[in-house]
């Protein structure tokens, strides 16, 4: 198998902690023995990145590259930075903690460049640094967030035959993985948003991705109920009987090892987690509270069902600590390793199945 292409990092919100944690991630990973850590490059404005280096007092070098392939030779001595195609003075005048919509074109261009390089094979995957959604929306960005935009950018690219298309969100911390079926849906709207089709598509995408991207031969999915005690036989809500149980049966008919619905409050202790490879949860906090409680600094956001590999750190822009040197790169480092690992697993799957 050929050496993997480098991982592409997007710039994220320029006023947030993204650049700082990218620099700190490089400082850690560049010390690894040759071949011991994934090679990555940052898509950003090199002069702006240099400014952040000085601001947070890091002792490292940058190198401007012309193409992703240059990152491999540069990485041992300097952080490779590929200039973003839509830069300008706005990037150089950003103050930490003070986002402005003037930088939105650069943020969006960075994402588009990363996706383009991943689709072409010049990058093995994309790691997105956190964005400030409000700032992008004010500039006319029409998507709710990264996940939906990546789905749109890759909609025309092929998936393996028979694979379900996402995007589907998964949070991962080692072998602990959770998948919210509804994501940024108001809690009062969740029951109406759930459907047999949505749960089946989410579960099928998760199962196929665990096979292709994580090398798990027969993934075990556990499905949480919506209501307390999983509805307790219909006495505390009927969504389990009317929607969730039929979806589980449909997943089993598709060959997915799906179990449930189970009460969510019994799914996340240590013994329970050993019984499954991923938990499908009915709403955002049902999935994210347990994993952020158990792995706050280490959890990684993974987007399933895309033609490209995409991960991100499981936190936001942290504007309140931007520029202060206090941001931790743990989740970003996990996201970089996860992207590289998923890319390797995909290559192995393609080779084994002659995809």
Residue 329 has pLDDT above 60, yes or no: yes
Tokens (6 digits) for 329: 């790169």
Instruction: Reduce the DSSP state of residue 185 to 3 states and report it.
Output: coil
> Sorting pLDDT into bands at 50, 70 and 90, what band is 92?
confident
Tokens (6 digits) for 302: 């993974």
Strand order in the sheet with 79-83: 62-64, 79-83, 40-44, 7-9, 125-127, 310-313, 300-304, 168-173, 176-180, 278-281, 220-224, 257-262
Q: Mean pLDDT, to the nearest integer, of 73-86?
A: 94
Residue 60 parent element (H or E): none
| Among 271, 288, 306, residue at a domain's last position | 306
Residue 158 has pLDDT above 70, yes or no: yes
High-pLDDT (> 70) share of the chain, %: 99
pTM score of the predicted model? 0.93
Gap between the Cα atoms of 175 and 195, Å rounded: 28
**Confidence at residue 35, expressed as pLDDT on a 0 to 100 scale:** 72
Burial class of residue 6, CB neighbours in 10 A (0-12, 13-18, 19+):
buried
CATH value at residue 203: 3.40.718.10
Residue 39 structural domain: 1-158+307-355
Instruction: Reduce the DSSP state of residue 305 to 3 states and report it.
Output: coil
**Confidence at residue 127, expressed as pLDDT on a 0 to 100 scale:** 98
Q: Mean pLDDT, to the nearest integer, of 169-176?
A: 95
Q: Mean pLDDT, to the nearest integer, of 99-113?
A: 94
Pair 185, 95 in one domain = no
**Confidence at residue 148, expressed as pLDDT on a 0 to 100 scale:** 86
CB 172 within 8 A of CB 309: no
Q: Mean pLDDT, to the nearest integer, of 208-226?
A: 96
Q: Write down the number of H helices and E strands in the chain.
A: 14, 12
> Sorting pLDDT into bands at 50, 70 and 90, what band is 155?
very high
Q: Which residues contact 163 (CB under 8 A, 6 or more apart)?
A: 205, 208, 212, 305
Residue 14's closest CA among 79, 78, 86, 106? 106
> Sorting pLDDT into bands at 50, 70 and 90, what band is 354?
confident
In the chain, the number of structural domains is 2
Q: Mean pLDDT, to the nearest integer, of 12-31?
A: 94
Residue 122 has pLDDT above 90, yes or no: yes
Pair 20, 117 in one domain = yes
Q: Which residues pair with 303 in a beta bridge?
A: 169, 310
Residue 1 has pLDDT above 60, yes or no: no
Pair 302, 217 in one domain = yes
**Confidence at residue 355, expressed as pLDDT on a 0 to 100 scale:** 56
Pair 355, 267 in one domain = no
CB 167 within 8 A of CB 304: yes
Residue 300 has pLDDT above 80, yes or no: yes
High-pLDDT (> 90) share of the chain, %: 82
Tokens (6 digits) for 139: 């500039």
């Amino acid at each position: 198998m050929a050496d993997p292409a480098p991982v592409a990092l997007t710039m994220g919100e320029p006023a947030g902690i993204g650049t700082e944690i990218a620099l700190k991630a490089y400082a850690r990973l560049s010390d690894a023995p040759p071949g011991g850590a994934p090679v990555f490059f940052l898509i950003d404005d090199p002069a702006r990145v240099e400014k952040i280096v000085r601001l947070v007092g890091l002792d490292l070098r940058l190198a401007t590259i012309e193409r992703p392939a240059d990152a491999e030779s540069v990485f041992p001595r300097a952080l490779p930075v590929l200039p973003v195609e839509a830069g300008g003075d706005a990037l150089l005048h950003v103050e930490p903690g003070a986002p402005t919509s003037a930088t939105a074109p650069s943020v969006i261009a960075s994402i588009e460049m990363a996706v383009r390089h991943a689709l072409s094979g010049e990058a093995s995957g994309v790691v997105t640094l956190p964005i400030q959604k409000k700032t992008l929306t004010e500039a006319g960005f029409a998507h709710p967030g990264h996940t939906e935009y990546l789905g749109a950018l890759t909609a025309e690219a092929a998936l393996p035959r028979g694979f379900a298309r996402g995007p589907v969100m998964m949070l991962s911390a080692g072998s602990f993985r959770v998948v919210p079926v509804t994501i940024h849906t108001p809690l009062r709207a969740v029951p109406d948003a759930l459907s047999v089709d949505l749960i089946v598509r989410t579960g099928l995408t998760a199962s196929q991705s665990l096979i292709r991207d994580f090398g798990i031969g027969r993934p075990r999915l556990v499905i949480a109920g919506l209501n307390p005690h999983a509805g307790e036989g219909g006495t505390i809500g009927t969504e389990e009987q009317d929607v969730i149980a039929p979806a589980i049966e449909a997943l089993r008919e598709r060959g997915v090892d799906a179990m449930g619905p189970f009460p969510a409050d019994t799914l996340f202790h240590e013994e329970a987690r050993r019984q499954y490879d991923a938990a499908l949860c009915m709403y955002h906090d049902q999935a994210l509270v347990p994993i952020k409680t158990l792995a706050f600094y280490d959890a990684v956001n993974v987007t399933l069902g895309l033609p490209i590999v995409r991960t991100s750190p499981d936190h936001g822009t942290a504007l309140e600590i931007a520029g202060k040197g206090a941001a931790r790169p743990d989740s970003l480092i996990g996201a970089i390793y996860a992207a590289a690992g998923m890319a390797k697993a995909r290559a192995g799957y393609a080779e084994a199945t002659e995809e």
